[in-house]
Chains A and B, each alone.
Chain A
Amino acid sequence: MSDIKKIKDEFLERLNKDLSIESVNQIKSELFGKNGKISSSFKILGSLPTEERKKFASDLNYVKDELQEKINKKIQQIEIKEINSKLENEKVDVTLPERNIVQGKIHPVSQVIDELSSIFSEIGFSVEEGPDVENEHYNFTALNTPDNHPARDMHDTFYLDDKKELLLRTHTSPVQVRTMLKGKPPFKIIAPGRTYRSDSDQTHAPMFHQVEGLHIDKNINMGHLKGCLNYFIKSFFEVDKIKMRFRPSHFPFTEPSAEVDIGYELKNGKIVIGEGDKWLEILGCGMVHPNVLKNVKINPDKYQGYAFGIGIDRLAMLKYGINDLRAFFETDYRWLNHFGFDPLDVPSNYRGLSR
């Protein structure tokens, strides 16, 4: 027994010293190796008398466990120490820049088109499109603007042939005609897209964007028109209250026709929509003219409804404080970066129209 105790004390003492992993392994093999002190002590077990054997075996096992545990702890200790000292040397400067970020942008016109689609989707409108190149019939005649109509002068039209039959659409209204010709009422559509007029100065670009709206059903009247636009303007500018004014006007394809002004004020040189006593013209609208309905083979005694046209670029300018229309189309990297939108920022009803 005293031998065992001796072994135990001796090795515990050794193990309490500051050791390398190799020394611990050395100790381990001195104890538990083939001819190790503990291993060989077990060998003498058989030669002991029965009554001693039991006690000896119990003592020996106890010491074996104690030493084994001590060694395991020691190894763990050394390993942790080693890792810690290694980590000490592995420190990097995390304030160094990350790898280059690539962030794309969505053009404000596209963003606003998506906003409009989301807003009108909420009240059941679907999106239609039409060709950029139109013929004179769809752009004018079918829209109750015959050749001798002075209203044609208001559209500075780009022509593609000398006979003036082919042209770039001057508004999105021909989509009304195309939509109604290919389907049956009711119709409830918006049609955003490119439009063209041969006009170019600070506030006019030869190409710009419009969104057309059309709602035809059996009992759609001017009250619905007002309600729809009131909803649209409030949603688009994300305000609770809006000051809106309907003024009589004239478009050949609607009657009665109206221009719509919204109230605004200037605060620190910026336009604030919804308040104030100044008026800003923002769109034209009216009840679809019976002649237009007849032109697309719809009986105006049965069906009626409204149409409107809004300048998309102008909406974008008002909402996002963009001053210069021409800049929309100049592809200045700085401008696109400044006014562009993150591609993940998809306007929707449930996530909100804009951040």
Chain B
Amino acid sequence: MKFTIGWLKEHLDTKFEDREIIEKLTDVGLEVESFEKVSSDLDNFKVAKIINAEQHPNADKLKVCDVDIGEQETVKVVCGAPNAQKDLLTVYAGPGSVIPKNNMKLTVSKIRGVTSYGMLCSESELNLSDESDGITELKSNKYSDKVGENFFKNNTEKVIDLSITPNRPDCLGVRGIARDLAAAGVGKLKHTSNTNIKNTGAQKIKISITKDKNQGCIIFGSCLIKDVSNKESPKWLKDKIESLGQKSISAIVDITNYVMLDLNRPLHAYDAGKIDEEIIVRNSIKGETFEALDNKEYKLDNDMCVISDKSGVLGLGGIIGGTRAGTEFNTKNILLESAYFLPRSIRKTSKLLNIDTDAKFRFERGIDPQSIELGLKKASKLIIEICGGKVSKFDVQKIKKYKKNKIKFKTSLFERIAGFKVKDKEIIKILTDLGFEVSKKKLELELTIPSWRPDITQPIDIVEEIVRIKGYNNIRTLEPDKTRFKATLNKQQKLFHFLQRSVASKGYFETVTWSFTDSKLNNLFKENYNEIKIVNPISSDLDVLRNSIFSNLISYLKKNLDRGFKDVSLFEIGPIFKDNKPGEQLTVLGAIKSGKISRLNWNEENRLVDLFDAKKDVIQTLVEAGYDRQNLFVREKSPSYYHPGKSGSVYLDKDDINPVAYFGEIHPNIIKKIDIKTEALVCFEIYLDYLKDKKIKLKDLKPQFKFSDYQKSDRDFAFVVDKHFKAQDIIDIISSIDESSIQSVKIFDVYEGENIPKDKKSIALNVTIQSSEKTLEESDLEKINKLIISTVETKSGAKIRS
């Protein structure tokens, strides 16, 4: 909402300074976006000084001047004036300026082969005098320190631009703003001038509002103004309209706009001669069309509120008028409309047709239904003054009677909410100043809500009015109350934070990527989840919600590889989506690692990252999070985007159904499709939702501390076993032979090749044996050895290597 201080003062009697007014506007909730002058064409004329004037190489009567215009570098201007000489102070007009005398627009041009940037002006060209023999000579005592400044004072007023919240339609008119300021103590609201106009004769065009279902128009007021001569607006009106950066069109259009901005009362003027017999306000019928004032043809749906005549639609009520009955300079008779349209209807229609106009913006937020006649009066008075003509009586059709709303307000509610006290007397004053009718009943106030405040419906709204007018700086700053009802984080949240930092501590950089992704990429990772399309994506490559954590990670990894990085470790912890309903999402930690370990290190052999790096990171993270390594179980099964032979899934327990994590290499087909160039690439993902809550707290979880001081023995074994037999199973078999004495089983070699049958492999293990009861004798150890060999051989079909 834009207006000038001068305009404001038409409604507000105040001695406050501009600065104070600006501050107060923000204080009462009308946020000032800017307060500055609208730039004018005359800003292009600068006070300038000729630094050097030389003879033009190709013309006797011309000079080439270096001119100081207050900028870092001087400009070259070709000038024919005899008085153009070194040190002269004069007026410079830059390219783009319009010379006041002849309306000539300046451009950069070559004059006899020398480029001239703008010109130096004579007094006559500036309309200052008739002097045209030479360029303007400015007195050095007055102008020598003003080089570079505007020569013409910009007389336009500074414009205030407010950002009005959607609850305050009344402040979309200057008068509403003045009312708030007056209530806040910045002067007095002036009375509206009540000079009556002469209404002669009836409004002869028949107006009817149909009783359609969901009729969007409740009141339609109008008057006929005959024998006008439409013209260009007078200067004051033009200035007003233009100071807001709007274009002046014609007196009649400017007047309706002016009244809208002044009183927040939108109006519409029709050329009465173009109306076919009568006005019918009705619901549209699907397929009807009309050409609107924005020169677009709109095709209407059912049930949009239209203003029509016998021949069809004239305009969309409260949104936009049509060209068919629009006013022009030769319009003789005008029908002036001042109506009330329902916000809901306006919003629905404008959204469907995607139209945004000043009128729509206002009606959508709620116009004062009691301003119908005020608007007609103010506008018709101005039209007669400027364009002449005679005004008919006002015709007001309505399908519902407007009743002012009343509410009861207990003043104690104010202190309960705001936390400080304001005396009843002051409350009454504030509300009265805002236009409420107040009557005091013991502990309550009975309030009649002003018709221009559709936002006020309940007592809390009244609290807001009082506190904002009184000033938010009166609210006290109370010490924060520290009572706690619940632990800060629940177990799942603690786990989230723990995993996040645990993975980061292994050398991964945490990133945050969009929750959406490119459907083409997503398809590579989506598995059995449904694709979730965004109806209105921001771009075609962010068109679906991600079904996997990897689509974004992998494409950003690629970007970093393209930047020249080789060893990149990234992870993200966040949502992936199973379907499009609230809650159908999982929290996943995904990590990805490329390149080499120990690249370019003088004392360590470098090697490619491999899936056992990913496995180590995922297992270690789970162990750090408190899950027992002994119970973790790995299977070959993994989603299809993994390398089928080089990936696995991790279960918290052998009997669990859902894996909590996957690790491995990305499927080579995907690497190829995405066109990633890297030596090696591995990844892992952890599903937080499947990580079972450890119900027992750490303090209760620790078993009794038991240790054995008896002698430890190590025995090595090598088994030849079927190639597909799982190492994990052999470890399991051995560990469960004698849990009290077999302390650990370590695989230190896996061998395939010479001396081993083709479909077999050799696994070499080290077993640590220690009893908690005694030092084991050679014979005891021998017994265990035999048991290990026989059990492994029976259970796995392996043969001990001799």
Residues of A within 8 A of B (CB): 96-97, 99-100, 102-107, 109-110, 114, 117, 120-127, 129, 131-135, 138, 148-151, 153-154, 158-162, 164, 166, 168, 186-188, 194, 196, 198-200, 206-207, 219-228, 230-231, 245-250, 255-259, 287, 289-290, 304, 328-334, 336-337, 340, 343-344, 346
Stretch from B67-75, B150-158, B162-170, B440-448 contacting the other chain? B162-170
Write out the residue numbers on chain A whose beta carbons fall within 8 Å of the beta carbon of B419.
221-224
Interface status of B489 (Cβ within 8 A of chain A): yes
Which listed residue, A135, A161, A331, touches B513 by the CB 8 Å rule? A331
Q: Which of A160, A200, A258, A337 contacts B509 (CB 8 A)?
A: A337
Chain B residues numbered 486-511 whose CB sits less than 8 Å from any CB in chain A? 486-490, 493, 497, 500-511
B360 to chain A, nearest CB (A): 10
Contact A160 B533 (CB under 8 A): yes
A171 → chain B, closest Cβ, in Å? Answer: 15
A132 CA / B486 CA spacing, docked (Å): 24
B582 touches A290 (CB 8 A): no
Question: What 1/0 mask marks residues of chain B from 445 to 466 whose CB sits below 8 Å from any chain A CB?
Answer: 0000000000000101101100
Give the residues in chain A near B166, CB-CB below 8 Å. 149-151, 153-154, 250
CA distance A122 to B479 in the complex (A): 13
Say whether B425 faces chain A, with CB atoms less than 8 Å apart: no
Complexed CA–CA distance, A151 and B535 (Å): 21
**Quick one: given A222-B419, A255-B460, are A246 and B475 in contact (CB under 8 Å)?**
yes
> Which of chain B's residues have a CB closer than 8 A to the CB of A207?
514-516
Binds A, one of B51-59, B267-275, B557-565, B768-776: B557-565
Which stretch of B23-31, B77-85, B632-640 is in the interface? B23-31
Interface mask (B547-573 → A, CB under 8 Å = 1, otherwise 0): 000000000100110010100111000
Across the interface, B472 reaches (CB within 8 A) one of A122, A188, A258, A289, namely A258
B contact residues around A289 at 8 Å (CB): 460
A166: min CB distance to chain B, Å: 5
Bound-complex Cα distance A68 to B89 (A): 114
Residues of chain A within 8 A of B515, CB atoms compared? 132, 168, 194, 196, 207
| A194 adjacent to B416 (CB under 8 Å) | no
Instruction: Please name the residue on chain B nearest to A132 by beta carbon.
Output: B575
**Cross-chain contact A224 with B481 (CB below 8 angstroms):** yes
Partner of B458, one of A135, A168, A247, A290: A290
B582 touches A135 (CB 8 A): yes
Report the bound CA distance from A110 to B493 in whole Å: 13
Interchain CB contact (< 8 A) of A138 among B348, B508, B582: B582
Closest-CB distance, B359 to chain A (whole angstroms): 14
Check A97–B602 contact: CB distance below 8 A.
yes
26 pairs from A and B in contact (CB 8 Å cutoff): A96-B602, A97-B601, A97-B602, A105-B509, A105-B510, A117-B488, A126-B486, A127-B489, A132-B585, A133-B580, A133-B585, A158-B535, A159-B535, A160-B545, A166-B581, A188-B486, A206-B516, A206-B538, A221-B419, A224-B480, A227-B478, A230-B477, A245-B473, A333-B563, A334-B563, A336-B511
Which of A103, A194, A250 makes the CB contact (< 8 A) with B29? A250
Residue of A107, A123, A304, A336 contacting most chain B CB atoms (<10 Å)? A107
Q: What is the CB-to-nearest-CB distance from B73 to chain A, in angstroms, rounded to a whole number? A: 26
| B533-A125 in contact (CB<8A) | no
B287 at interface by CB-CB < 8 Å: no
A104-B506, A250-B165 known; 13 other A-B pairs, CB under 8 Å? A100-B601, A106-B504, A124-B484, A131-B585, A133-B577, A154-B166, A158-B538, A199-B538, A200-B538, A227-B477, A249-B31, A258-B472, A331-B556
Q: A223 to chain B: which residues have CB within 8 Å?
A: 418-420, 475-478
Whether B750 sits at the interface, judged by CB under 8 Å, is no
Q: Determine whether the beta carbon of A336 is less than 8 Å from that of B538.
A: no
What residues on B are CB-neighbors of A329 within 8 Å? 512-514
CB-CB under 8 A for A247 and B29, given A151-B166, A224-B481, A256-B467? yes
In-complex Cβ contact of A331 among B165, B478, B500, B511 (8 A): B511
Contact B512 A328, beta carbon cutoff 8 Å = yes
Main secondary structure of the interface of A (DSSP, over half): mixed
Which B residues contact A (CB, under 8 angstroms)? Answer: 26-29, 31, 165-168, 343-344, 347-348, 364-365, 416-420, 458, 460-461, 463-464, 467-468, 472-473, 475-490, 493, 497, 500-516, 532-539, 542, 545, 556, 559-560, 563, 565, 568-570, 574-575, 577, 580-585, 597-599, 601-604
Bound form: Cα–Cα A120–B482 in Å: 9
Q: How far is the CB of A308 from chain B (nearest CB, A)?
A: 13
Complex Cα spacing A86 to B694, Å: 56
Lowest 10 CB-CB distances: which A-B pairs, in order? A102-B507, A248-B29, A223-B419, A250-B165, A221-B419, A331-B556, A104-B504, A124-B484, A343-B504, A248-B468
The answer to whether A255 and B533 touch across the interface, beta carbons within 8 angstroms, is no
* Contacts known (A99-B598, A135-B582, A228-B480); A107 close to B511, Cβ less than 8 A: yes
Flag if A126 contacts B489 (CB, 8 Å). Answer: yes
Chain B positions within 8 Å of A105 at CB level: 504, 509-510
When distances are taken between beta carbons in the complex, the residues of chain B under 8 Å from A259 are 31
Cβ contact within 8 Å between A106 and B500: yes
A148 touches B348 (CB 8 A): yes
How many Å lie between the Cα of A228 and that of B483 in the bound state? 13
B254 to chain A, nearest CB (A): 27
Bound together, the chains give a CA A148 to CA B216 distance in angstroms of 13
Contact A344:B505 (CB < 8 A) given known A149-B166, A255-B461, A256-B468: yes
Known: A148-B347, A255-B464. A121 touches B488 (CB 8 A): yes
A304 CA to B476 CA, complexed, in Å: 17
Q: Which residue of B lies closest to A205 (CB)?
A: B514
Tell me whether A133 and B581 are in contact in the complex, defined as CB-CB below 8 angstroms, given that A99-B601, A226-B477, A332-B560 are known contacts. Answer: yes
Q: Say whether B585 contacts A226, CB under 8 Å.
A: no
Residues A99 and B604 in contact in the complex (CB < 8 Å), given A158-B536, A206-B514, A250-B166:
yes
CA gap between A148 and B568 in the complex, in Å: 50
CB pair B483–A336 under 8 Å, yes or no, is: no
Q: Nearest Cβ distance between residue A215 and chain B, in whole angstroms?
A: 8
Question: A155 vs B781: C-alpha distance in the bound complex, in angstroms?
Answer: 75
Q: Please give, as numbers and ranges, the residues of chain A lying within 8 Å of B581 by CB-CB distance.
A: 133, 135, 166
Say whether A125 contacts B488, CB under 8 Å: yes
Q: Which residues of A contact B505 (CB under 8 A)?
A: 104, 343-344
